[in-house]
Amino acid sequence: MNIFNLELKVGIAELKVARSPTLLVTIGLGSCIGVALWDRLAKVGGLAHIMLPDSKQFSQVVNKAKFADLAIPLLVKKLEDLGASKHRLEAKLAGGAQMFSFKDRRISVFNIGERNIQVARKVLQELGIKLVAEDVGGNYGRTMILNTANGEVYIRIVGRPQKTI
């Protein structure tokens, strides 16, 4: 990373695409899942901060970026508009934690984090996009940064050194 890199923040239930050398940053993925896509030839990348696995369980969808089944295809489309080729895209995932462990099992039935991971993997597979790395699960939050210059994804976790996937 150098100081000339432009940082672009991706908020919760948002997705953004950018050209090299922009850093796409999303802060505080808990049970949400972050999906980073990158085209090594076109040097463009995209990052989505997804809240829920499946939009089909909701009668009304206001924001496509909120759901894994809609956000990932939309992210691909936006990257293609920016010159990416779908078959070259590589994916990295982070997040999908379970932050709270309720002692009463009936409350934990939603298991949102785990379902976010599973659906994100499935959608990528259906789109034919290769999943090259992931840092998922656990009971802690993550900040995820995609470096569109080299496709590296940096993960920040409280109390641990930053790692690269």
Partner 1 sequence: MQWINLSPIHLDALKEIGNIGAGHAATALSKLVNQMVKMEVPEAGVIRFNDIFSMVGREDELVACVISKVSGKAPGSILFILDEKSAHALVDLMMGLKIGTTRELNDMTSSLLEELGNILTGAFLTALSQATNITLVPSVPALAFDMLGAVLSSAFLEGGCFAEEVLIIRTRFFNDQTKIDGHFFLVPEVKALSTILKSLGLSI
The reply to whether 1 sits near partner 1 by the rule CB under 8 A is no
Site string for partner 1, 123-142 (x = CB under 8 A): ----------------xxxx
In 3D, which of 94, 100, 112, 138 has the Cα closest to residue 54?
112
81 is catalytic: no
The CA distance from 92 to 103, in Å, is 32
Looking at 47, 52, 76, 123, which residue binds partner 1 (CB under 8 A)? 52
For residue 33, the cross-strand partners are 50, 95
Which long-range contacts does 57-60 make (Cβ < 8 Å, 24+ apart)?
none
- Which residue, 85 or 108, has its beta carbon nearer to partner 1? 108
Q: How far is the CB of 40 from partner 1 (least distance, A)?
A: 29
Torsion of CA 7, 78, 89, 152, to 10 degrees: 10
The residues binding partner 1 (CB under 8 A) are 11-13, 27-32, 51-52, 58, 62-63, 97-104, 107-108, 110, 112-113, 139-143, 158
